[in-house]
A and B are shown apart, each in its own frame.
Chain A
Amino acid sequence: MPQKKSDTIVKNPYRPILTTIEKITVENEAKDLKTFRLVFCSDEEANDFHFQYGQFAELTVFGIGECPIGIASSPMDREFLEFTVKRYPDGLVTNALHNCSVGTRIGVRGPLGNCFPMEQMTGRNVVIVGGGFAFTTLRSTIRYILHEANRAKFGNLTLVYGARSPGELLYKDELKEWEAREDIETHITVDKGDESWTGKEGFVPTVLEHVAPSPKDAIVLVCGPPIMLKFTLPVLTKLGFEPGEIITSLEMRMKCGIGLCGRCNIGSKYVCRDGPVFTYEQLQALPAEM
Chain B
Amino acid sequence: MADSKIAKNKIPELIKAVSADYTLYGPKAEAGIVALGRIHSAEELMLDYRNSTISAKELFLPRAEVVYEFDGQKFVDDKLPDEKRVIFGIRPCDCRALALLDRNFDTDEVKDPFYVTRRQNTIVVALGCNQPLSSCFCTAVGGGPFGQEGADVLMGDVGDSLLAKAITSKGKDFLARYGKFFSTAGSGSWDKQAKEARDKMSAAPTLIKPAFGGSELNIENLKSHLDNLFEDEIWETISCKCLGCGACSYLCPVCYCFDLVDEKTASGIKKIRTWDCCMFSMFTHHASGHNPRSANFARLRQKIMHKFNYYTERYGVNGCVGCGRCIRSCPVNLDIRQVLEKIAAAPSATKEK
Contacts and interface: CB of A to CB of B under 8 A. Distances in A.
A–B touching in complex (CB under 8 Å)? yes
Interface of A: 7, 9-15, 18, 62-67, 88, 90-94, 105, 107, 251-253, 255-256, 258-263, 265, 267-268, 273, 287-290
Nearest to A7: B110
A261 B258 contact: yes
B78 interface: yes
A147 to B, nearest CB: 29
Contacts of B257: 261-263
B306 A64 contact: no
Contact of A62 (B67, B269, B283, B285): B269
Interface string B82-116: 00000000000000000000001100011111001
Contacts of B110: 7, 13, 258-260
B260 A15 contact: no
B44 interface: no
Interface stretch (B143-151, B196-204, B238-246, B270-278): B270-278
Given A88-B287, A253-B284, A260 B105 contact: yes
Given A259-B110, A260-B105, A288-B230, A66 B70 contact: no
Interface stretch (B2-10, B308-316, B336-344): B308-316
A107 B271 CA distance: 12
B260 A268 contact: no
Interface in B239-295: 256-262, 264, 268-269, 271, 273, 276, 278, 283-289, 292-293
A15 B231 contact: no
Contacts of B78: 12, 15
Contacts of A63: 262, 264, 269
Contact of B289 (A18, A90, A256): A90
B18 interface: no
Given A252-B284, A288-B231, A290-B292, A261 B259 contact: yes
Nearest to A10: B113
Contacts of B259: 255, 261
The 5 tightest CB contacts between A and B, nearest first, are A91-B287, A262-B257, A268-B310, A268-B313, A88-B287
Given A260-B105, A267-B310, A268-B309, A9 B258 contact: no
A7 B292 contact: no
Nearest to B231: A288
Contacts of A258: 110
A94 B287 CA distance: 8
A239 B68 CA distance: 51
27 contacts: A9-B117, A12-B78, A13-B111, A14-B68, A14-B260, A15-B75, A66-B260, A88-B288, A94-B287, A253-B283, A253-B284, A253-B285, A255-B258, A255-B259, A255-B260, A260-B104, A261-B257, A262-B258, A263-B257, A263-B276, A267-B310, A288-B230, A288-B231, A289-B230, A289-B292, A289-B293, A290-B292
Given A7-B110, A7-B111, A262 B306 contact: yes
Contacts of B67: 12, 14-15
A45 to B, nearest CB: 12
Interface in B211-234: 230-231
Nearest to A89: B289
Contacts of B288: 88, 91
Nearest to B117: A9
